């Protein structure tokens, strides 16, 4: 009923996701709103979001939700917040995440980071993609499998990306945890305060009875309001 009459092509949807019409500020506010309204403790929410951030620093694209949920479950964090936290990895941030992780990982493993080494990464990606496609076709009887062509991809891309993403992932996750925990705690405190004020304002009115009058002599000391309304 509420679908578009003219469905947008795949290219238009991809560009809309990459460059939102209303800007990224609205998406950031939406994520902040969703995270702060999760019914859980600030620690578990912030830790769950940090798990999603950590998952975004792994090269296993398409499995970030699963990795985030597994990390949140292992750390007893909020899984929903972890799924939302994977939004940190997006088309704008992935190039920077990949560059930092690959550079650091190749240095740690001693692969080198020169222009020639960068060419090896491109060749490994092309070789791995071709080998994967041929091997998948062989599963339905079309040609022969060449799983061995994935070895350069694993050695020159996946392993360095995984190793190099650990340190920046931990640093970024810790930063988000330290930022989100007090923000969520403050939001939940304000929300409880608003609920208490509404409950105090409606007390005694549900049955048609007004609130009791406060003597004028005691108004200077106690104006009749509860602790949340002061």
State the SS3 of the chain.
CCCCCCCCCHHHHHHHHHCCCCCHHHHHHHHHHHHHCCCCCHHHHHHHHHHHHHHCCCCCCCCHHHHHHHHHHHCCCCHHHHHHHHHHCCCCCHHHHHHHHHHHHHHHHCCCCCHHHHHHHHHHHHHHHHHHHHHHHHCCCCCCCCHHHHHHHHHHHHHHHHHHHHHHHHHHHHHHHHHHHHHHHHHHHHHHHHHHHHHHHCCCCCCCCCCCCCCHHHCCCCCCCCHHHC
Copy the structure tokens of residue 214.
């406060």
Of 156, 167, 148, 133, nearest in space to 58 by CA: 167
Q: What gap in Å lies between CA 167 and CA 163, rounded to an integer?
A: 8
Phi and psi at residue 47, in whole multiples of 5°? Answer: -65, -40
- C-beta of residue 124 within 8 angstroms of C-beta of residue 148: no
pLDDT tens-digit readout, 156-202:
788 889 999 999 999 999 999 999 899 888 887 887 787 787 777 65
Place of tokens 């990795």: 67
pTM given for the model: 0.67
Phi-psi region of 112 (alpha: psi -120 to 50; beta: other; left: phi over 0): left
Instruction: Decide which of 150 and 205 is more confident.
Output: 150
pLDDT tens-digit readout, 200-230:
765 554 444 555 544 544 444 445 455 555 5
Of 27, 178, 7, nearest in space to 93 by CA: 27
pLDDT tens-digit readout, 63-78:
899 999 999 999 999 9
Question: Does the pLDDT value for residue 32 go beyond 70?
Answer: no
Per-residue pLDDT, 132: 74
């Amino acid at each position: 009923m509420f679908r578009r009459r003219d469905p947008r092509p795949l290219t238009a949807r991809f560009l809309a996701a990459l460059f939102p019409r209303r800007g990224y500020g609205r998406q950031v506010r939406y994520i902040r709103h969703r995270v702060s309204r999760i019914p859980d403790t600030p620690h578990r929410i912030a830790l769950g979001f940090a798990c999603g951030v950590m998952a975004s620093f792994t090269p296993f694209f398409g499995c970030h939700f699963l990795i985030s949920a597994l990390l949140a479950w292992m750390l007893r964090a909020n899984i929903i917040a972890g799924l939302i936290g994977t939004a940190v990895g997006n088309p704008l941030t992935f190039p920077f995440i990949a560059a930092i992780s690959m550079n650091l990982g190749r240095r740690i493993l001693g692969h080198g980071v020169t222009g020639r080494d960068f060419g090896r990464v491109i060749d490994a990606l092309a070789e791995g993609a071709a080998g994967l496609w041929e091997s998948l076709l062989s599963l339905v009887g079309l040609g022969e499998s060449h799983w061995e062509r994935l070895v350069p991809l694993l050695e020159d891309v996946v392993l360095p990306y995984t190793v190099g993403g650990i340190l920046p992932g931990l640093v970024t996750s810790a930063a988000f945890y330290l930022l989100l925990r007090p923000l969520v705690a403050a939001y939940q405190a304000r929300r409880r305060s608003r609920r208490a004020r509404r409950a105090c304002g409606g007390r005694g009115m549900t049955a048609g009875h007004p609130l009791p009058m406060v003597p004028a002599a005691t108004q200077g000391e106690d104006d009749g309001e509860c602790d949340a309304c002061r």
